[in-house]
């Protein structure tokens, strides 16, 4: 299981996820899922690229863009989506065990 750190910034009340050296907002990861569902990339562009097709979406949140330069972009995006959908992973639910 990957190690990650969540930081709640008091000034902006934003939740950040740190994973494999990347720090992204939880809201950005939620937008990522929506973009992937609605984005139909050009098949020629997708065949030429080794990065996930959502990396070519013009509305990709800015804090997710550096992930596209990573060789592990697809697996990083998958891990972030999994964390964003699991309250225990995020330690949001106080009833969860194992949260930091």
pLDDT of residue 73: 93
Runs of H (alpha helix) within 23-72: 26-38, 43-48
Rg over alpha carbons for the chain, rounded to the nearest Å, is: 14
Give the three-class secondary structure for 44: helix
Domains and CATH numbers, the chain: 48-99 (3.90.1450.10)
**Is pTM, for the whole model, over 0.85?**
no
pLDDT of residue 69: 93
How would residue 52 be classed by pLDDT, with cut points 50, 70 and 90?
Answer: confident
**Cβ contact 17:91 at 8 Å:** no
Task: Give dist(CA 22, CA 98) in Å, integer.
Answer: 23
Q: Which two tokens stand for residue 15?
A: 């939740």
Q: What are phi and psi of 39, to 5 degrees?
A: -90, 120
């Amino acid at each position: 299981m990957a190690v990650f750190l969540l930081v709640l910034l008091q000034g902006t009340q934003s939740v950040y996820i740190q994973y494999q050296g990347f720090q992204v907002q939880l809201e950005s990861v939620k937008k990522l899922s929506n973009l992937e569902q609605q984005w139909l990339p050009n098949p020629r562009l997708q065949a030429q690229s080794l990065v996930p097709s959502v990396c070519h979406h013009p509305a990709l949140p800015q804090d997710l863009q550096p992930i596209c330069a990573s060789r592990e972009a697809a697996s990083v995006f998958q891990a972030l989506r999994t964390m964003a959908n699991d309250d225990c992973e995020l330690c949001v639910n106080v009833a969860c065990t194992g949260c930091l």
